[in-house]
């Protein structure tokens, strides 16, 4: 039986509140190598966002290539696809060299879509095949054209994605009859619960894709882009999530990788493999006296714990920032848990948050959520509501496109 491990969203080079995450990312990669070896994993699927930046720092590149070298020594076959944070050129540059190590890299969609089908298992007797689809940019998708408004672009996006996955399913059934078909993707699926660390590339429910764009030939869809592990619209559509938390909104998530096991004429098996919590994120919230007391009660020996303070004020206090800085500085000198972020939440600053559940911080909200909640507070005719929503989505889409191009 073929064992396939699904992971995604490593975001090597990511900094959280200007704190370096590389130590914890390295710990995950060491765990991953040991797990693959101990469990005799045959295939590793990495579904996008290998790096956090298009031009990743040298430490992130070093960690990536060191890990690939060590993974290749286990004998595992690897398939790596690009995400929206990745530069296709950076991922593809060593593609030919990495292929000699059994590592298949797809930084962008190739002109011949059929090249994205990778047989898995022994070359002489493959046990499955994967459609390795990276994050698809506008220029790579059919049906997208300049001048389209947001609903037209959303429909074109869904149609383009559907065409790619249906084409690859037909080709797989023709070239590899009888083999289970897996798929990879880096996209936003309907029903997925996001965190504050994802950038909205496809915005809102109109652009999110539903499970029915994937033909039933796919036994498993190994997805990336959403950092919380979860199913998305169907049991076989799965986000592995990021292996380490990338924002304080993920502080309660149980990180994981997933293992699919199967083969020709074999009922597939699915397993969630929880990951150790190499770093713990905590949020302390309340008035300044309450937050100070919570800090006092924390053990100074809680290493690898990063803390966010949200200090609620009834009115601005110009003396408080200096007091907070002094207490935080003293606390951080204990060489255990560290306060890496604090925010003074004055009453005037809580206007946006009042639209949402208590305890929700601004940095956990998506622009679309804030805009829609604001509209709901107004008494507007339905047509005005619709027109304003479309105008906002057009502007937000244009903003993210410009951000990606810069």
Residue-level pLDDT at 247: 92
pLDDT the model gives residue 142:
72
The pLDDT of residue 206: 43
pLDDT on residue 350: 45
Average pLDDT over residues 111-135: 96
Residue-level pLDDT at 259: 98
**Following CA atoms 192, 194, 199, 203 in sequence, which dihedral angle do they give, to the nearest 10 degrees?**
50
List the one residue out of 138, 141, 190, 147 whose CA is nearest residue 161: 141
Least confident of 12-21, 145-154, 263-272, 328-337: 145-154
Average pLDDT over the chain, rounded to an integer = 86
**182, 218 contact by CB (below 8 A):** yes
**pLDDT confidence bin for 208, thresholds 50/70/90:** confident
Banded pLDDT at 185 (limits 50, 70, 90) = very high
DSSP code for 184: E
Bridge partners (DSSP) listed for residue 238: 222, 231
pLDDT classification of 333: cutoffs 50, 70, 90: confident
Judge contact between 116 and 131, C-beta under 8 A: yes
Return the structure tokens found at 216.
Answer: 């039933």
The predicted pLDDT at position 153 comes to: 78
Q: Determine which of 50-59, 115-124, 224-233, 376-385 has the lowest per-residue pLDDT on average.
A: 376-385
Residue 195 Ramachandran class (φ > 0 left, ψ -120 to 50 alpha, else beta): beta
Kindly provide the residue ranges of all beta strands, DSSP E only, lying in 264-383, ordered along the sequence: 266-274, 280-286, 305-312, 338-345
Q: Where are the domains of the chain?
A: 2-274, 280-401
The pLDDT of residue 97 is above 90:
yes
Query: What's the pLDDT at 306?
Result: 94
CB-CB contact of 212 with 171 (8 Å): no
CB 298 within 8 A of CB 214: no
pLDDT of residue 202 exceeding 50 = no
- State how far the Cα of 13 lies from the Cα of 130, in Å rounded to an integer: 28
Q: What per-residue confidence (pLDDT) applies to 314? A: 78
pLDDT: is 401 or 284 the higher one? 284
Q: Which is higher by pLDDT, 321 or 375?
A: 321
Beta bridge partners of 45: 6, 79
Q: Which of 22-26, 29-33, 114-118, 250-254 has the lowest mean pLDDT?
A: 250-254
3-state secondary structure of 33: helix
Q: Is the model more confident about 247 or about 155?
A: 247
Query: pLDDT above 70 covers what percent of the chain?
Result: 83
Q: What is the 3-state secondary structure (H, E, C) of 98-110?
A: HHCCCEEEECCCC
DSSP state of 271: E
Residue 90's CB: how many other CB atoms inside 10 A?
18
Tokens 């004055």 appear where?
A: 346
Report the pLDDT value the prediction gives residue 368, as an integer from 0 to 100: 66
- Note the pLDDT of residue 403: 47
- Residue 176 pLDDT grade (very low, low, confident, very high; cuts 50, 70, 90): very high
| 3 state SS of 4 | strand
pLDDT score, position 317: 82
Q: Quick check: 382 pLDDT over 70?
A: no
* Residue closest to 342 by CA, chosen among 313, 303, 299: 313
Contact between 135 and 109 (Cβ < 8 Å):
no
Asked if residue 148 has pLDDT above 90, the reply is no
What is the CATH code for 2-274? 3.60.21.10
């Amino acid at each position: 039986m073929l064992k396939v491990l699904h992971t995604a969203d490593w975001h090597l080079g990511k900094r959280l509140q200007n704190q370096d995450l590389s130590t914890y990312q390295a710990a995950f990669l060491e765990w991953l190598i040991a797990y693959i070896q101990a469990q005799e994993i045959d295939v590793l699927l990495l579904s996008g966002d290998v790096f956090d930046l298009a031009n990743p720092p040298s430490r992130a590149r070093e960690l990536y290539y060191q890990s690939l070298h060590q993974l290749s020594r286990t004998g595992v076959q690897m398939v790596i696809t690009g995400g929206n944070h990745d530069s296709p050129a950076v991922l593809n540059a060593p593609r030919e060299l990495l292929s000699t190590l059994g590592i298949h890299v797809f930084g962008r969609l190739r002109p011949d879509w059929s090249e994205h089908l990778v047989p898995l298992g022994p070359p002489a007797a493959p046990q499955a095949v994967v459609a390795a689809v990276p994050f698809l940019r506008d220029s790579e998708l059919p049906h997208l054209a300049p001048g389209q408004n947001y609903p037209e672009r959303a429909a074109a996006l869904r149609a383009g994605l559907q065409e790619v996955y249906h084409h690859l399913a037909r080709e797989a059934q023709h070239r590899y009859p009888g083999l289970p078909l897996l798929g990879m993707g880096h996209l936003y699926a309907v029903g997925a619960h996001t965190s504050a660390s994802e950038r909205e590339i496809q915005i809102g429910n109109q652009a999110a894709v539903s499970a029915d764009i994937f033909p039933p030939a796919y036994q498993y869809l190994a997805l990336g882009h959403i950092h919380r592990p979860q199913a998305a619209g169907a049991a076989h559509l799965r986000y592995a999530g990021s292996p380490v938390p990338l924002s304080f909104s993920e502080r309660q998530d149980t990180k994981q990788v997933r293992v699919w096991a199967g083969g020709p004429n074999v009922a597939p098996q699915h397993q969630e493999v929880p990951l150790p919590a190499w770093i713990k994120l905590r949020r302390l919230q309340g008035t300044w006296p309450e937050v100070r007391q919570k800090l006092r009660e924390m053990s100074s020996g809680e290493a690898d714990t990063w803390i966010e303070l949200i200090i609620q004020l009834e009115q601005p206090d110009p003396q408080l920032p200096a007091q907070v800085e002094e207490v935080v500085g003293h606390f951080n000198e204990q060489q255990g848990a560290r306060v890496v972020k604090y925010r003074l939440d004055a009453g005037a600053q809580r206007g946006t948050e009042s639209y949402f559940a208590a305890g929700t911080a601004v940095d956990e909200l998506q622009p679309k959520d804030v805009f829609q909640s604001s509209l709901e507070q107004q008494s507007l005719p339905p047509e005005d509501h619709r027109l304003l929503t479309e105008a906002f989505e057009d502007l937000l889409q244009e903003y993210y496109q410009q951000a990606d191009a810069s």
